[in-house]
Amino acid sequence: MNIITPVLQARNISKIFPGVIALNEVNFNLLPGEIHGLMGENGAGKSTLIKCLTGVYSPDEGDVIYCDNRVFFSSPLESSKAGISTVYQEVNLIPTLSVAENICAGRQPLKKGIINWTFINAHAKELLAMLDVDIDVSASLSEYSTAIQQMVAIARGLDLEARVLILDEPTSSLDEEEARKLFAVIRKLKNDGMGIIFISHFLDQVYEICDRLTVLRNGEYIGEYEIGELSKHELIIKMLGKDLAQFEYRSSKNTVNKKSDKKTFYRVKGLSKRNGVLPFDLDLREGEVLGLGGLLGSGRTEIARLLFGIDKPTTGNASVWGLSGFIKNPKQAVDKSFGFCPEDRKVEGLIPDLTIRENIILALQVKHGLFKYLSVKKQKEIADMYIKLLKIKTPSSEVSVSKLSGGNQQKVIVARWLAANPKFLILDEPTRGIDVGAKVEIQKMILEFKDQGMSILFISSELDEVVRCSDRIAVLRDRHKIAELCGDDISSSTIMYTIANANTNASANTNANVSVNCNSGGQNEAEVES
Amino acid sequence: MKLKLNHESYKQIIGPLAAFLLILLFNYLFTPGFFDLEIKDGQLFGSIVDIFNRGAPVMIIALGMTLVYATGGIDLSVGSVMAISGAVAAFMIRPGYISGVLEYGTLPPVWQVILIPLIVAAIAGLWNGVLVTYLKIQPIIATLILMVAGRGIAQLITKGNIIIFRHENFEVLGSGNFLGLPVPVVMVIVIALLMHFLTRKTALGLFIEAVGSNPTASYFIGINSRRIKLLVYVFCGICAGFAGLIITADIKGADANNCGLWFELDAIAAVIIGGTVWGGRYTLAGTLLGALIIQSITTTILSRGIAPEQILVYKAIVVLSVTLIQSGNMRKMIVQLFNSKKKRVSSIANSGVVK
Ligand SMILES: Nc1ncnc2c1ncn2[C@@H]1O[C@H](COP(=O)(O)OP(=O)(O)OP(=O)(O)O)[C@@H](O)[C@H]1O
Ligand SMILES: [Mg+2]
């Protein structure tokens, strides 16, 4: 048996933050030509380990060994120059710069001291083409969806000359299709001998592409496994330290097929936005979860933003609680007891300077208004309750939210809106970057809140999740609402079929090719129009 | 392994507190008589009292500036607004002076002499706020307009004269004393407490920090960020107006050219030294300490007989060192330096174990 020496190694690495032991004597071995999954719950220390390997942090104890040499990278720039290219979980792209600038920033090729724009644009285009993304690279980044932005971040990290590629949750906002494109590239790089570290909370993806796994729990090293020797179930137990709570919560979902008894409180007709979504009708009903099914860029987020008054519609009309008229801005929406948990937590959700407590109670405080200030004691109570419920990993509620791990930050945003207890809550990718255990918790809570009368608009790239939580699903394709499913029609296969079916009939200009009637009580069969 | 929780709010003002104490220590050791206090006519005198008394105007403007700074803005016009409010007050007391009439006429009651300039200052603040929030002009440019134009307006009011006046009740504001304390110091305490209650006992402070820290997210939560920004600029204007009144009452004259000149810089420095984050966390206590630091440098220099022209150089040094100590990068560098030493030691220890 010949022994391949690891290309990158961590030996007994420890890293301590105030109040948290993020890593405690962790070992890690990356071989050349393998895809190595780094697994663990939110806050287990995955990102911290990556940062210790690449020079963002210097480990308090332990060694980093790269190509048989002990190394001390003092900055990420150094490690990337040495051949470790990294896509960090929280990518600092600059929305106002162009796509090409974002990809090439920091390593602009100069020609006689002048930036060579032709080269930059061509280079950016080339890198994106590898990921099968074809966009205008001179447009500013902010014009593109979160998914494209994530692809841009990945392209930025792709360096064909590198020996190691590290991807920290690269697929968190990609759908299956996009993820597959990424995997094709990764596999190719692996076959060329590159060592790849892959972090993801999607177990399916991990099992699809990883060769070996290293599991961390609570900053402790649990073990290193061949992918074949560990079943998903065993992996979950290794990650959580216990078995996964089953998704048992039985809501009224499947018992009520008759929907006519639920009151519609928000109705839009022919709502559209130029370059956003084509005209659509939507009824939102009290005590119901409406899922939005569809692929990336199908217009899900655009619908959410229109409904919440963030974007102005081009056409259509709306009535809310019996009053006709659009919601013009988020303030109005909040006054109507609406809530919006946005997709991009860093830009649209977190208030980085504030503590976890303040971030959690903020929406509730806005609801109470300026003068009814919640006492700090009360705030602490609420924050501590959600820290416990959602298992937010932190030494205290008084820690700055920016110190949390990515998934825990996401939990804070979700907690913020659950704490505010709005009558209508839009959840745009609420479980993005959240581990398997907490995901189940959040889904449970969504259904609990629904049963208490909250109406929810649920958006997720994970079809399973949408199917599990929704009473009704609006299916979108190419920025176009093509169908509405309810009752027994709600299943991943129906949704995929509906999307594919619309594909063959492709004519995006008429309103609905496939329509399923969910309005009349009792009748819920699909009427497929030709 | 020891786990310790840190209270961010206390941590924030440790830097400035240490700096202030250091300056006091320096004076304790090297400036004779610095800590002497005496009571004359029921009022305290001495260098220490002087620091608080002279520092009062800067402290007041810096308090207003703190909120503006926390929303991610800045107000360069405070010095000019001081001049305007002083000019208005003096003009009200002695309206004929600018056309050469030396008679006073009937003296306006003191509340009018205070209230009307403050209203004018509030309007100035409103102007800044509207430029920033509704016309979306960069705060530094928007307030630069009034910084330049404001002094012109003050000149217009005084017609280029230095209006000197007497108004016993109004003068109390600058040189009176209350319970043995100079009135300006009392005013600082009152305004600081008022601000504390207005912003920390309501949700206003939280909203200010939220808007400064992430405007997009705050907007999505439904915080009316425009109204909040408008409010802090108006408030900053009022603070500037008040500081202008104190100085005018103290020197019993309105000098449109020099009243509040370069005060905006001292105020901004005080806020930064105090540890308020641009667009984020603010601390009123830190700001007060920051202003005291700046004033104590001035007082130290004057009482040591160093040429006053050098004051600016020393101020610059202190501002630079305190901000450096507070900057995260600097801290990281120091920690890294420390760690690399430790690492060498531990790696030697480790290699010993292996062999
Ligand atoms: N800069 C920091 N300051 C203080 N604590 C930190 C810091 N960075 C990380 N931590 C803490 O270290 C722990 C590990 O965080 P890390 O980001 O490595 O988790 P993770 O495994 O990547 O989780 P996720 O799946 O949520 O991304 C967390 O408890 C986090 O709160
Ligand atoms: Mg992470």
Q: What is the pLDDT of residues A235-289, one digit of tens each?
A: 988 998 877 766 555 555 544 444 456 788 898 888 888 888 888 999 899 889 9
Number of domains in chain B: 1
Does the Cβ of A403 fall within 6 Å of ligand 1? yes
CA-CA distance, A325 to A317, in Å (whole number)? 6
Q: Ligand 1: which residue has its CA nearest to atom 25?
A: A42
Which chain A residues are within 8 Å of B72, Cβ to Cβ? none
In this prediction, residue B87 carries a pLDDT of 96
pLDDT at B45 over 50: yes
Does residue B32 belong to any structural domain of this protein? Answer: no
Highest mean pLDDT among A514-518, B314-318, B345-349: B314-318
Where do runs of H (alpha helix) occur along A342-462?
A: 356-368, 376-389, 406-420, 436-451
* CB-based contact, A333 to chain B, within 8 Å: yes
CATH number assigned to the domain comprising residue B278: 1.10.3470
* ipTM value greater than 0.90: no
Neighbouring residues of the ion ligand 2, judged by CB less than 5 Å: A 47, 89, 405-406
Greater confidence (A253 vs B298) lies with B298
Kindly state the DSSP code that residue A355 receives in the 8-state scheme: B
Closest CA to A399 of B281, B8, B61, B232: B8
In this prediction, residue A133 carries a pLDDT of 86
Does the Cβ of A487 fall within 6 Å of ligand 1? no
Q: How do the residues of chain A divide into helix, strand and coil, expressed in percent and rounded to 5?
A: 35, 25, 40
By the 8 A CB rule, do A484 and A472 touch? Answer: yes
Closest Cβ opposite residue A18 in set B6, B207, B219: B6
Q: What is the 3-state secondary structure (H, E, C) of chain B?
A: CCCCCCCHHHHHHHHHHHHHHHHHHHHHHHCCCCCCCEEECCEEECHHHHHHHHHHHHHHHHHHHHHHHHCCCCCCCHHHHHHHHHHHHHHHHCCCHHHCCCCCCCCCCHHHHHHHHHHHHHHHHHHHHHHHHCCCCCHHHHHHHHHHHHHHHHHHHHCCCEEECCCHHHHHHHHCEECCEEHHHHHHHHHHHHHHHHHHCCCHHHHHHHHHHCHHHHHHHCCCHHHHHHHHHHHHHHHHHHHHHHHHHHHCEEECCCCCCCHHHHHHHHHHHHCCCCCCCCCHHHHHHHHHHHHHHHHHHHHCCCCHHHHHHHHHHHHHHHHHHHCHHHHHHHHHHHHHHHHHHHHHHHHHHHC
Q: What is the mean pLDDT of chain A?
A: 85
CA-CA distance, A216 to A45, in Å (whole number)? 7
Closest-CA distance, A279 to chain B, in angstroms, reads 24
What whole-number percentage of chain B has pLDDT above 70?
Answer: 88
The tokens for A323 are 């009053």
Q: Give A339's pLDDT tier (boundaries 50, 70, 90).
A: very high
Span A133-152, pLDDT tens digits:
888 888 888 888 888 888 88
pLDDT at B141 over 90: yes
What whole-number percentage of chain B has pLDDT above 90?
Answer: 57
pLDDT at B337 over 80: no
Does residue B7 belong to any structural domain of this protein? Answer: no
Does residue B230 belong to any structural domain of this protein? Answer: yes
By the 8 A CB rule, do A444 and A253 touch? Answer: no
Ligand that comes closest to the CA of residue A439: 1
pLDDT at B346 over 60: no
pLDDT at B345 over 60: no
Interface probe with B: pick from A310, A346, A366, most Cβ of B within 10 Å: A366
pLDDT at A111 over 50: yes
Closest CA to A355 of B210, B258, B247: B210
By the 8 A CB rule, do B23 and B296 touch? Answer: yes
Does residue B37 belong to any structural domain of this protein? Answer: no
Q: Give B349's pLDDT tier (boundaries 50, 70, 90).
A: very low
Q: Ligand 1: which residue has its CA nearest to atom 31?
A: A404
CA-CA distance, A420 to A360, in Å (whole number)? 9
Query: Taking the mean position of all CA atoms in its chain, how far away is CA B239?
Result: 9
Greater confidence (A522 vs A84) lies with A84
Question: Which segment of A110-124, B76-90, B149-163 scores lowest on mean pLDDT?
Answer: A110-124
pLDDT at A347 over 50: yes
* Strands ordered across the beta sheet of A424-428: A338-341, A424-428, A455-459, A289-293, A472-476, A481-486
pLDDT at B315 over 90: no
Closest CA to B206 of B67, B15, B73: B67
Tell me if A362 and B220 make a contact (CB, 8 A cut-off).
no
Does the Cβ of A17 fall within 6 Å of ligand 1? yes
Closest CA to A48 of A351, A413, A403, A457: A403
The tokens for B326 are 């507070």
CA-CA distance, A476 to A514, in Å (whole number)? 11
The tokens for A247 are 């998704």
Does the Cβ of A214 fall within 6 Å of ligand 1? no
Instruction: Look up tokens 């409904």; give the residue.
Output: A307
Cα B307-B312-B314 angle, rounded to 5 deg: 85
By the 8 A CB rule, do A227 and A36 touch? Answer: no
Does residue B29 belong to any structural domain of this protein? Answer: no
Q: Ligand 1: which residue has its CA nearest to atom 6?
A: A403
By the 8 A CB rule, do A392 and A382 touch? Answer: no
DSSP assignment of A1-20: -PPPPPSEEEEEEEEEETTE
Does residue B114 belong to any structural domain of this protein? Answer: yes
Span A460-490, pLDDT tens digits:
888 888 888 899 999 988 888 888 888 878 8
Q: Give B148's pLDDT tier (boundaries 50, 70, 90).
A: very high
In this prediction, residue A360 carries a pLDDT of 96
Q: Which atom of ligand 1 is nearest to the CA of A44?
A: 21
By the 8 A CB rule, do A137 and A98 touch? Answer: yes
In this prediction, residue B336 carries a pLDDT of 65
Does the Cβ of A460 fall within 6 Å of ligand 1? no
CA-CA distance, A465 to A458, in Å (whole number)? 9
* CB-based contact, B219 to chain A, within 8 Å: yes
Q: In one letter, which amino acid is B249? A: A
DSSP assignment of A135-178: --TTSBGGGS-HHHHHHHHHHHH--TT-SEEEEESTTTT--HHH
Distance A15 CA to ligand 2 centre (A): 15
Residue B131 domain boundaries: 52-337
- Reported as type and span, the H/E element at residue A317 is strand A315-320
CA-CA distance, A238 to A233, in Å (whole number)? 9
Q: In one letter, which amino acid is A393? A: K
pLDDT at B79 over 70: yes
Mean pLDDT of the A194-222 span? 94
- Pairing mode of beta strands A195-199, A35-39: parallel
Q: Give A317's pLDDT tier (boundaries 50, 70, 90).
A: confident
CA separation (Å) from A273 to A63, A68, A118, B222? 54, 57, 34, 22
Query: Taking the mean position of all CA atoms in its chain, how far away is CA B268?
Result: 7
pLDDT at B43 over 80: no
List the single residue in A with minimal CA-CA distance to B201: A373
Q: Give B32's pLDDT tier (boundaries 50, 70, 90).
A: confident
* CB-based contact, A193 to chain B, within 8 Å: no
In this prediction, residue A526 carries a pLDDT of 38
CA-CA distance, A327 to B91, in Å (whole number)? 50
Q: Ligand 1: which residue has its CA nearest to atom 29?
A: A43
Does residue B177 belong to any structural domain of this protein? Answer: yes
Tell me if A370 and B281 make a contact (CB, 8 A cut-off).
no
Beta strands in A189-274 (DSSP E): 195-199, 212-217, 220-226, 264-273
Tell me if A348 and B5 make a contact (CB, 8 A cut-off).
no
Ligand that comes closest to the CA of residue A437: 1
